[in-house]
Chain A
Amino acid sequence: MKEVKVSARDVQVYYGENHAIKDVSVEIEDKTVTAFIGPSGCGKSTFLRCINRMNDTIDICRVEGDILLDGEDIYDPKVDPVQLRAKVGMVFQKPNPFPKSIYDNVAYGPRIHGMAASKSELDAIVEKSLRRAALWGEVKDRLSASGTGLSGGQQQRLCIARAVATEPEVLLMDEPASALDPIATAQIEELIDELREKFAVVIVTHSMQQAARVSQKTAFFHLGNLVEYGETSQIFTNPVDPRTESYITGRIG
Chain B
Amino acid sequence: MPDQHIVRSFDKDLEAIQAKIMKMGGLVESAIHESVKSLKKRDDELAERVREADHLIDKLEEEINYDAAQVLALRQPIASDLRVVLSVMKISGNLERVGDYAKNLAKRTTLLVQMPAIDGASGAIKRMAREVERMLKDALDAYVNQDVALAEDVRARDHEVDQMYNALFREFLTFMMEDPRNITACMHLHFIAKNIERMGDHVTSIAEQVIYLVTGNMPGNDRAKLDYIAEAHEAED
Chain A residues packing against B (C-beta within 8 Å):
208-209, 212, 236-239, 242, 244-246, 248-253
Contact = CB atoms under 8 A, between A and B. Distances in A.
B3 A237 contact: no
A249 B4 contact: no
A160 B3 CA distance: 41
Given A236-B78, A246-B2, A249-B80, 8 more contacts: A212-B78, A236-B82, A237-B216, A238-B217, A249-B79, A250-B7, A251-B4, A251-B5
A251 B6 contact: yes
A245 B1 CA distance: 7
B79 A237 contact: yes
A250 B5 contact: yes
A238 B216 contact: yes
20 contacts: A236-B82, A237-B79, A237-B216, A238-B83, A238-B216, A238-B217, A239-B79, A242-B1, A245-B1, A246-B1, A246-B2, A249-B78, A249-B79, A249-B80, A251-B1, A251-B3, A251-B5, A252-B4, A253-B1, A253-B2
Interface in B206-231: 216-217
A152 to B, nearest CB: 24
Q: Which 6 A-B pairs have the closest CB atoms?
A: A238-B216, A242-B1, A252-B2, A236-B78, A251-B2, A246-B1
Contacts of A248: 78-79
Contacts of A245: 1, 79-80
Interface in B1-32: 1-7, 10
Contacts of B76: 208-209
Interface string B184-212: 00000000000000000000000000000
Contacts of A244: 79
Contact of A208 (B6, B78, B217): B78
A253 B81 CA distance: 16
Contacts of B77: 249
A236 B1 contact: no
A171 to B, nearest CB: 26
Nearest to A238: B216
B11 to A, nearest CB: 9
A250 B13 CA distance: 14
A238 B86 CA distance: 13
A126 B83 CA distance: 47
A237 B82 contact: yes
Contact of B5 (A237, A238, A249): A249
